[in-house]
Amino acid sequence: MYKSVMNNTNKKILVAMSGGVDSSVTAALLLEQGYDVTGAYMINYEENSTKSGLQNMAESCWVPDYRDALRVAAKLRIPLLKLDFRKEYKTYVLDYMFDEYRQGRTPNPDVMCNKYIKFGFWLEQAQARGFDYLATGHYANIRIFNNTNIENTNYELLQAVDTDKDQTYFLHQLNQSQLAHIMFPLGGLLKSEVRRLAEEFNLPTAQKEESMGICFVGEVPMKDFLSKEIKHISGNIIYSQTKEICGQHDGLAFYTIGQRHIGNIKNQKCIDSVKDSKPLYVVAKNFETNDLIIGHEDDPLLYQTDINIFDMHWIAGQVPVFPLQCEVRFRHRQVLQLATIDIDKTSQHSVIHCNNPQRAITSGQFAVVYKDGVCLGGGVIM
């Protein structure tokens, strides 16, 4: 059965309120169902988290959302706490992100934020303050899985009803102890239904637009933001078909596999290739030579069938029987791909064997595994 928000109405719930419509409806639903609800706005952005100093940017980012959360809390007549996790966010998300980019990988800070901040430090703070559950506006479901052969209750992470909004990709690092104390009240709703409920509850955020991207970056392009922390180490751009030097890149850290609009192309043959309606993409990065390899859409380097994974995490807390027939996605919202997971006997790393070649598999991103609508876990692409 799903962990229902209709049970245990005497429980104390801390709702993480971001100032958006999803968390606002989450609080309203739980309050309507009789829970003892308290809201909390979490400040995550360290004002001086980079050498350049982003104090004004950080403040302009969270203050308007905090005011919206205050308005919703006032409307619902619930208390709103303001908790500061900027130090933790810098250590576990910002520093992680910069370190990954420095090594030429493309990280996913949202996964680390969920693992360590939202359902790590936030949950710990909620429990320390006497709350039974932490509820958020994530689109996902939690199901209690009773197995007579297992002494303790197990929890499964299921995809949301709204497959377009499903956020299990970003939640796949959660564990059993975390899932036991989390609520996702929106998992059974479509986004359109959430909007309708916001109107019915007459919430101040009912018409608020979706927040996109990484808040602390603001309107600055990601490359410009990273440049304030990561050195530019230029190198050659190599055309994969002829091995010719096409130009110079600014540093492997600033490029990702599958990226178009590379820039700095000087070689006339490469320029002519683009003119012939054959756009160029980043197809590989050679760290030994500091070369950026580019090619066309059909370049074999852009496609993989066997993908190596490290730091594989299984939500159930136990390793499944291999080989495992499953589905997998290598990026958020990707259509689930049929695959088989096994263990490489030499390296002991997990290997995903895909039924079909996968485009632009990117080191540092996450491969997330599913079976019959259940998110089993995931790991980092090597």
Residue showing tokens 């996790």: 85
Contact 39, 79 (CB under 8 A): yes
CA dist., res. 139 & res. 152, Å (int): 26
| Known catalytic membership, residue 61 | no
Residue 180 neighbours by CB under 8 Å, 6+ apart: 153, 155
354 is catalytic: no
| Rg, Å, the chain Cα set | 23
Distance CA 104, CA 126 (A): 36
Query: Annotated catalytic residue: which of 113, 246, 326, 375?
Result: 113
Question: In sequence order, what are the beta bridge partners of 219?
Answer: none
Q: How far is CA 30 from CA 25, 65, 185, 208, 269, in A?
A: 9, 21, 8, 21, 62
CA 79 from chain center: how many Å? 29
Cα gap 213→93, rounded to integer Å: 15
- The answer to whether the Cα torsion of 134, 121, 97, 343 is positive or negative is negative
Catalytic (active-site) positions: 113, 215
